[in-house]
Chain A
């Protein structure tokens, strides 16, 4: 079965500290991986996708096929990064996202 796991429900760090939000996947084939973010009272929105290899708002994520992981990292957290973060995998047909349970990131001043 296709599965995306985010082991941490809550991650709390101080401003300026490094952040790593963990994501592991169990998927047949070669899924495309994404990170979505939901800020308070806003809709779910795409943060980044692994094929673009971009850094968005200082966040990066590297796909590690050997460990089946796609952890999200930022070297220096900012208060405005506080949000819910969801890791997701797109199936090979490109028509269904499987989401992890989400991690709430709280960045304290």
Chain B
């Protein structure tokens, strides 16, 4: 599968623990996006990268959240001191450039207990 890849697919963690998710975009896609989706809702934008630069961050991205894309290829999303409200599906997407189709990964489902 040469599409957007996300790992792990599922993560169960205790409240207060830190978690890190990884996203591998489609090769040569310059843009990478993170979205969060809670049950019964559509995806909500979290942040976006143009190559290695993080250019946009949503207010949803509290200071417990940090995202990186160190070499402009894969990206990581870390959540520190997880809370039960962080339980959601975290989606990654990539696109070649502005206004081209965004391709989504399968997502990482986080459950905080």
User: Which chain A residue has the least Cβ–Cβ distance from B102?
Assistant: A97
> How many residue pairs at the A-B interface have CB separations less than 8 Å?
53
Q: How many residues of A contact B (CB 8 A)?
A: 22
Q: Which of B13-21, B43-51, B72-80 contacts A (4 or more CB under 8 A)?
A: B43-51
User: Which chain B residue has the least Cβ–Cβ distance from A46?
Assistant: B101
User: Which chain B residue has the least Cβ–Cβ distance from A6?
Assistant: B42
Interface presence of A44 (CB below 8 A): yes
Q: Closest approach, in angstroms, between the C-beta of A62 and any C-beta of chain B?
A: 20
Asked whether B104 lies within 8 Å of A90 as measured between CB atoms, the reply is no
- Which 3 pairs from chain A and chain B are nearest by CB? A99-B42, A94-B98, A44-B104
Which residues of B are in contact with A by a Cβ distance under 8 Å?
3-4, 31, 33, 35, 40-45, 48, 50, 55-56, 91, 98-99, 101-107
Which residues of A are in contact with B by a Cβ distance under 8 Å?
4, 6, 9, 32, 43-46, 49, 86, 88, 90, 93-102
